Amino acid sequence: MSSLTSLREMRRVGSAYRQVFATPAGRTVLKDMIRTVGLYRQSGACDSAELQYREGARDLVRRLLKMSKLSDDQLEQLMGEAVDD
């Protein structure tokens, strides 16, 4: 795959993330995922395998947030809503 094709594919995929998570339903899903994985909570006492699992889930949600390219204000609002719900 050429670098130009790869760049086009990255843009296409990035655009798809933004389209999906710009919708009210997409925001609802993001908030649920943030809550479910405890994105900004401490893991607490757990064994190594459980910690790895939790961090893997958090990494996935971080990728979704990064790919959705929310502004700082949008991200702050989303995080507040996820905690308050």
pLDDT recorded at residue 52:
92
Classify residue 65 as exposed, middle or buried by CB count within 10 Å of its CB (0-12, 13-18, 19+).
Answer: buried
Q: What integer best gives the mean pLDDT of the chain?
A: 88
pTM of this prediction? Answer: 0.79
**How many folded domains does the chain comprise?**
1
Q: Give the structural domain span for 73.
A: 3-84
Q: Tens-digit pLDDT profile for the chain (85 aa)? A: 577 689 899 999 999 999 999 999 999 999 999 999 988 887 778 899 999 999 999 999 999 999 999 888 988 898 888 887 6
Q: Are 37 and 64 in contact (CB under 8 A)?
A: no
